[in-house]
A and B are shown apart, each in its own frame.
Chain A
């Protein structure tokens, strides 16, 4: 017979056995159970709220924002600045990844309230957005010149959507009323009427515009 293990060693073995049992229950069984039920009951949402265009092609997730830029003139030039496509409603600036709206790299800018870098980018965004939409720079809303926390914000404020209506209508040869009707349709109101802020889902709106032809 060997000597019994000292108490301190036995406590660690107890701890290890406890951790392993709990890992099976909380780390394997629990997520599997939730996944199983989710996949049966809410499969579209559990799999990322993927939406399709009219021709059945997957075009993105309704919860994840995208860029709506013109094709690059020279696709091989990494220094060429992307230009926004006037036919589409434009999202907020994004700090996710080097080109923005990269879901493999969700992030905000983390720039402080007095940051010179942030000040410059806000002023530049205000000037370019105002010129692009043909409005007075002073009226450009805050969300149009700031990056979101995730860099993937799927929404823009109703004010920023309204600002873009004329430009999009003109670029697509649609009436302002037609575009306004779609903006209203893809405006998400507050949850239960009072939780959070309303916003316009940019991808869903642009997808609907494409389908309007």
Chain B
């Protein structure tokens, strides 16, 4: 079979598997977010933490719980890394330095999983399991919880209650993430991913050299790293490492995992608002961007450009033989269009076009399909903007799903859209203006600028992948990117929750002849246009200095 035919089949199988999951998984998530029944284990948990599982919160209270939980998590993860040398299974690693520990704590709590460290040389098994794996679950659950409040904003009326934060993240963890992780972690192990508590295993190679084979609870972290769109690798090489991602099949499975929740959430949305067509409209926009990006990425990577890759006769630099060009392109597209940021090949060595696509994917705001929960709330904000634009054209107050989009709502939506680009562009600008920080690039010229732009784009959008040649372990980089991750995660969440509260209080208005139908192809086209225009106008100048300049090299 030719690589091209196999590549097409691989992509089609992925689309088919995601399509098969869309309805059952979306409906299942809708049910767990709306049912009033608690499991016995959940009731026990609410008792222990002193929360009334039947009482919904107002949006400010929901936000306070979310922020308190995140703050406590950052502190816990920070302390865990700082006392690492005293923990069991620390493999002899020292405590992580203060700025590195701060950066990593924030990175995992914000679902970014940017890594300024090399896993196999920094983190012991306890920090990986008790610290990082836990946040892989909970930061993913927080994203889904936030989008649940926004959807409730549309479905509820004349109430100030948007849900219960503790109930939401408990159910998402126990009923969705944990069961899937247990089963699929075992599938990964059955295909070669490791799962043990060994340290480094010294052995003598065939030619008599010594080699240290690493150990660790890898599969249990790998599966939730993808399923929760986290992306923080157990090892430095992330999903390129054979112990994280051993075969062509595990590679396909990992791509599927990092897409499946985010691609099914529009169904949850449609189900909860009582009109499945609304979900189909949203998922169509997500899918079109994903398909276009995958096609472009694959085209660029199978047509090598750049003097070094042309000399090699193929863009295999930074790629594994077992995944090939197609398997790496599909992964690179999916990881940057979600907030995952796991990599199965080094993005720094992608072709200029491929690297540009990866960056553009993140600049879209990670909405196609985006991170768990965060992808859908990002897309719904853009849908609100699209409805608003359409309303302006005909000169009437726009409404979406029966809720009026007035000044208050549009302010929150606009603030949401402005936040991330501000962080990316100011951060990149400051880094480029500081001579010392600029020197941390590995590559020179336009590609060096791309490394800096990619770093801030990745941090602010909570992606976590990198043009990894850049050295980001200095206090300045740890601090700057840490701040980019905090603001890039929590400011948008504040605006979404405020918007949810504002929508929930409204009395729905009946649809009239003048109401824009938001389930038809016209709206799908309009929304896609809004996405492209918002992103294009914001980032074009920066892209021109980086990947575009490099492509014209």
Which residues from chain A sit less than 8 Å from chain B, CB to CB?
A: 8, 11-12, 14-19, 21-23, 25-28, 30-31, 33-35, 37-39, 41-42, 45-50, 53, 57-61, 63-64, 66-71, 85, 88, 92, 96, 101-116, 118-119, 122-123, 126, 140-143, 145-157, 188, 190-197, 199, 203, 206-207, 210
B443 contacts A111, CB within 8 Å? Answer: yes
Binary A-proximity of B451-471 (CB < 8 A = 1, otherwise 0):
000000000000000011100
Q: Which residues of A contact B522 (CB under 8 A)?
A: none
Which among A49, A96, A116, A123 has the greatest number of chain B C-beta atoms within 10 A?
A49
Q: Which residues of A contact B73 (CB under 8 A)?
A: 15, 19
A122 and B349 alpha carbons, distance in the complex (Å): 13
A41 and B186 alpha carbons, distance in the complex (Å): 9
Which among A37, A149, A154 has the greatest number of chain B C-beta atoms within 10 A?
A149
Q: Which residues of A contact B393 (CB under 8 A)?
A: none
A194 contacts B6, CB within 8 Å? Answer: yes
Q: If the complex has contacts A60-B213, A148-B319, are A113 and B308 also in contact, measured as CB distance less than 8 A?
A: yes
Binary A-proximity of B40-52 (CB < 8 A = 1, otherwise 0):
0000010011110
Known: A31-B195, A146-B316, A149-B343. 6 other contacts (CB 8 A): A105-B118, A109-B349, A112-B467, A112-B469, A113-B308, A155-B321
Q: How far is the CB of B426 from chain A (nearest CB, A)?
A: 25
A136 and B322 alpha carbons, distance in the complex (Å): 25
B211 contacts A194, CB within 8 Å? Answer: no
Q: Which residues of A contact B248 (CB under 8 A)?
A: 190-191, 195-197
Binary A-proximity of B303-318 (CB < 8 A = 1, otherwise 0):
0111111011111111
A85 and B209 alpha carbons, distance in the complex (Å): 13
Q: B203: CB under 8 A from chain A?
A: yes
A19 contacts B69, CB within 8 Å? Answer: yes
Q: Which of B181, B204, B247 contacts A59 (CB 8 A)?
A: B204
Q: How far is the CB of B250 from chain A (nearest CB, A)?
A: 8
Q: If the complex has contacts A18-B49, A18-B69, A103-B213, are A30 and B181 also in contact, measured as CB distance less than 8 A?
A: yes
Q: Which residues of B contact A150 (CB under 8 A)?
A: 235, 237, 240-242, 320
A113 and B211 alpha carbons, distance in the complex (Å): 31
Q: B373: CB under 8 A from chain A?
A: no
Q: If the complex has contacts A34-B219, A38-B195, are A11 and B64 also in contact, measured as CB distance less than 8 A?
A: yes
A114 contacts B120, CB within 8 Å? Answer: no
B308 contacts A118, CB within 8 Å? Answer: yes
Q: How far is the CB of B134 from chain A (nearest CB, A)?
A: 4
Binary A-proximity of B181-198 (CB < 8 A = 1, otherwise 0):
110011001111111111
Chain B's closest residue to A209 (CB) is B206
Q: Which residues of A contact B345 (CB under 8 A)?
A: 108, 149
B195 contacts A142, CB within 8 Å? Answer: no
Q: Which residues of B contact A109 (CB under 8 A)?
A: 317-318, 346, 349
B220 contacts A30, CB within 8 Å? Answer: yes
Q: B513: CB under 8 A from chain A?
A: no
Binary A-proximity of B111-140 (CB < 8 A = 1, otherwise 0):
000000010110000000111011001100
B320 contacts A114, CB within 8 Å? Answer: no
Q: B476: CB under 8 A from chain A?
A: no
Q: How far is the CB of A210 from chain B (nearest CB, A)?
A: 7
Q: How far is the CB of A97 from chain B (nearest CB, A)?
A: 10
A61 contacts B213, CB within 8 Å? Answer: yes
Of residues 176 to 231 in B, which have CB atoms within 8 Å of A's CB atoms? Answer: 178, 181-182, 185-186, 189-198, 200-201, 203-209, 211-215, 217, 219-221
Binary A-proximity of B496-525 (CB < 8 A = 1, otherwise 0):
000000000000000000000000000000
B220 contacts A71, CB within 8 Å? Answer: no
A46 contacts B194, CB within 8 Å? Answer: yes
Q: Which residues of B contact A199 (CB under 8 A)?
A: 321-322
Q: B553: CB under 8 A from chain A?
A: yes
Q: Which residues of A contact B344 (CB under 8 A)?
A: 149
B242 contacts A111, CB within 8 Å? Answer: no
Q: How far is the CB of A171 from chain B (nearest CB, A)?
A: 14
A114 contacts B550, CB within 8 Å? Answer: yes
B312 contacts A45, CB within 8 Å? Answer: no
Q: How far is the CB of A86 from chain B (nearest CB, A)?
A: 12
A122 contacts B48, CB within 8 Å? Answer: no
A60 contacts B220, CB within 8 Å? Answer: no
B186 contacts A26, CB within 8 Å? Answer: no
Q: Which residues of A contact B327 (CB under 8 A)?
A: 195-197
List 10 A-B pairs, minimum CB-CB distance, nearest first. Answer: A196-B248, A113-B306, A197-B324, A142-B314, A149-B240, A191-B249, A110-B469, A106-B237, A108-B346, A150-B237
Q: Which residues of A contact B189 (CB under 8 A)?
A: 34, 38, 41-42, 45-46
Q: How far is the CB of A101 from chain B (nearest CB, A)?
A: 7
A69 contacts B349, CB within 8 Å? Answer: no
B49 contacts A111, CB within 8 Å? Answer: no
Q: B252: CB under 8 A from chain A?
A: yes
Q: B149: CB under 8 A from chain A?
A: no
B166 contacts A18, CB within 8 Å? Answer: yes
Q: How far is the CB of A137 from chain B (nearest CB, A)?
A: 10
Q: Which of B129, B308, B319, B351 contacts A27 (CB 8 A)?
A: B129
Q: How far is the CB of A99 from chain B (nearest CB, A)?
A: 8
A27 contacts B130, CB within 8 Å? Answer: yes
Q: How far is the CB of A43 from chain B (nearest CB, A)?
A: 9
Binary A-proximity of B432-445 (CB < 8 A = 1, otherwise 0):
00000000001101
Q: B36: CB under 8 A from chain A?
A: no
Of residues 347 to 398 in B, which have CB atoms within 8 Å of A's CB atoms? Answer: 348-352, 355
Chain B's closest residue to A154 (CB) is B242
Q: B156: CB under 8 A from chain A?
A: no
Q: Which residues of A contact B76 (CB under 8 A)?
A: 16, 19, 23
Q: B35: CB under 8 A from chain A?
A: no
B349 contacts A53, CB within 8 Å? Answer: no
Q: How far is the CB of A60 from chain B (nearest CB, A)?
A: 5
Q: If the complex has contacts A14-B50, A152-B242, A194-B6, are A106 and B195 also in contact, measured as CB distance less than 8 A?
A: no
A122 and B219 alpha carbons, distance in the complex (Å): 34
